[in-house]
Each structure stands twice: as C-alpha cells, then as structure tokens.
Amino acid sequence: MIDLTTTLNKLHFKTPLMNAAGVHCATTTELDDLLDSQAGGLVTKSATLQPRTGNPDPRYANLPFGSINSMGLPNQGLDYYLNYANATALTHPDFPILLSLAGQSLAENLQMLERIQASAFSGLTELNLSCPNVPGKPQIGYDFDQMKTILTAVFQTFNQPLGIKLPPYFDLAQFDLVADILNQFPLAFINTINSVGNGLFINLETETTVIKPKGGFGGIGGSYVKPVALANVRAFRQRLNPAIQIIGTGGVVSGGDLFELILCGADVVQIGTTLAQEGTPAFGRILTELERIMAQKGYATLADFRGNLKTL
C-alpha cells in the first residue's frame, strides 16, 4: 500500500499534485475539471482586483522541450476566484484551494488581502512576486528591497496563512540573500519556481519569434527548466526555517521528475506545461509512475524520501 497524502499548512492533500497557477485555472469550467481529476488540490489563476484581458495572441507556444508564454496576467478578477473558492468549499470541503494574487501595486495587493480576510475563505493565499510578462513591470522577486517592503506591509495587514511564488534564482549568493529575508516573516510556504523569465524562442524557417507580446520574450517552462526547479527547491530547503513549507514547480513531465522534486524537499508539486499539453489526465499518469518508482524502492510514504537527496 502506497500513501501519497501530504499536508500544506492546514490543508490535507490526497495526492501531492496540483496545477501550476495560470494553467487550466482561469475559468470555473477549467477549475471544475481540476476538482474531478487526480490532483490533490488546485490554485486559481493569479488575480488582480479588476479583470484583465492580458497580452495579444499568440501568447503561448509549445516548444520541443517545454513552453514559452507571455500571457500578461489575463484573469477574471479577484471576486470571481474568491466566489468560486468559497462556493467550492461548501460542495468539496476536503479539497484544498489556493488563491493566487498578483496585484500590480502594493496597495492593490493589500486591498485584495483585505477582501479575502473579510470573506469566508478557508484555503491558502499565495502572493505571486514573479510574473515575468507584464510590460513595464519588473519581477518583484528580483528586487530584494521591494520584496522585504511588501512582505512587511502584507504581514501587518493579513493574519491568515500566506505563501509567495518566487522567480528562479541562479546564484548561491541570491539564495542566501532571499532566504535571509524570507526567514524574517511567518510565511506558510514558498512556491518555487515560476517560469524562467524572458527567454526567446525562434522559428528558424520563418526567422520570427513564436509569440507576439514583448518582441517574443516570454517565460520558459517544461523540461528546459527542471534542473533550475530542482536547484531552487533544494537550495531553499537547505536555507529556510523548517516551518516554511515548499511547493515545487517546474519541469515535471514524469513520475521520476515528481520524485526528484520531493527528494529535494518539496511538500507539494505543481504541474504547468505538462498539464497544458496533456490536460488533466496528466495527474493520474504521473502519480501512477511515481507509485511504481516508490514500490520499486520500497518507500510507502512521501516522507520516506522527502528532502533526502544524497550528494557525492
């Protein structure tokens, strides 16, 4: 018997998989598909106070080993997702729900957090500090002073469990600096990584970019980014207070990829590009592959190997 359950703060997951924010979670139809899948929980598309249409098409493309996107934060507005979450808590009381927020200013983020706090919301809130695709808006996660300012203000306002979505970091000094800031706050979790921002993919034949916004620059996901995701989960697990849990996101195509992210320390794992490409059956396939690997290795629970990466 293999036990795939896991816990994130107050929420209990039947399986460790969720969608990654932005994929298959923009409408109630897509969100209902997640409820009916093998996902252990769901997160809603990063929300702003008002609905946004996002960037012009084409704004997502599949690539040989992943994807590129510059969606530009298209979403139905916070109330749409908050109403969905609160209605679903009544029909599916045991299904974990995360609300993702991506306000375009500190004031907007605080206003959204106040709305959540004033509502019956019983899930977890994730503040996205790493959207790479809004023209003229740098990723907050790369501005350490701004990140500290935001977290200070947010924790003065919000008294419910909160996590943050981080961009990938690429230098050990950055891991040290960011972890030092994050350890000063009562974060419930971090989610690492968002897409690798501002990559460029080119169609050799037509000599053009493959997406239209921002001159073709966009966030890279899928197999291209798995080593970056593994490194970020591992580096933060080594540096963060044990009370701060980790959602690992990036490059999970197989059960082996899922196993590796948990081995690096992930408590929950999110699927982005693979969900976009295969739809919700991807969850069941990846979990079956994970179970086979665990059975072969003689592991009965995720805790049997979580964080246990060995080095040479």
Coil, helix or strand at residue 272: coil
Q: Select the residue interacting with ligand RRO from 38, 109, 191, 194 (CB under 6 A).
A: 194
Q: How crowded is the C-beta side of 270, counted as CA atoms within 13 Å?
A: 30
Q: How far is the CB of 112 from ligand RRO (least distance, A)?
A: 14
Q: Which residues of 62-73 are buried (b: 16+ CB within 10 A; e: fewer)?
A: ebeebbbbbbbb
Q: Select the residue interacting with ligand RRO from 73, 151, 262, 302 (CB under 6 A).
A: 73
According to the binding rule CB under 6 A, does residue 195 interact with ligand RRO? yes
Window contacting ligand RRO (CB under 6 A); options: 11-19, 111-119, 129-137, 275-283: 129-137
According to the binding rule CB under 6 A, does residue 67 interact with ligand RRO? no
Binding mask 85-124 for ligand RRO (x = CB under 6 A): -----------------x----------------------
**∠ CA 162-164-210, rounded to 5°:** 145
Q: Select the residue interacting with ligand RRO from 38, 48, 130, 274 (CB under 6 A).
A: 130
Q: How far is the CB of 272 from ligand RRO (least distance, A)?
A: 8
The interface with ligand RRO within residues 131-150 (CB under 6 A) comprises: 131-133
In sequence order, the β-bridge partners of residue 164 are 127, 190
Lookup: tokens for 84 = 């969905």
44 closest CA partner among 126, 122, 109, 107: 126
Annotated binding residue at 203? no
Residues in the chain: 312
According to the binding rule CB under 6 A, does residue 69 interact with ligand RRO? yes
Stated as kind and residue range, the H or E segment containing 206 is: none
Give the count of residues interacting with ligand RRO (CB under 6 A): 16
Annotated binding residue at 286? no
253 closest CA partner among 273, 233, 280: 273
Query: 163, 190 in Cβ contact below 8 A?
Result: yes
User: What sign does the dihedral 205-194-25-23 (CA atoms) show?
Assistant: positive
Amino acid at residue number 251: G
Query: 183, 241 in Cβ contact below 8 A?
Result: yes
Q: Is 131 a catalytic residue?
A: yes
Binding mask 20-39 for ligand RRO (x = CB under 6 A): --x-----------------
Coil, helix or strand at residue 55: coil
Q: How far is the CB of 180 from ligand RRO (least distance, A)?
A: 24
Token pair 């994929």: residue: 23
Stated as kind and residue range, the H or E segment containing 176 is: helix 172-182
Q: 113 or 225: whose CB is closer to ligand RRO?
A: 225
Cβ count within 10 A of residue 158? 18
Q: Select the residue interacting with ligand RRO from 72, 123, 199, 251 (CB under 6 A).
A: 72
Window contacting ligand RRO (CB under 6 A); options: 25-33, 128-136, 142-150, 260-268: 128-136
Annotated binding residue at 183? no
Catalytic one of 23, 42, 68, 131:
131
Q: Which residues are annotated as a binding site?
A: 45-46, 69-73, 128, 165, 193-195, 222, 250-251, 272-273
Active site residues: 131
Q: Which residues bind ligand RRO (CB under 6 A)?
A: 22, 46, 69-73, 102, 128, 130-133, 194-195, 219
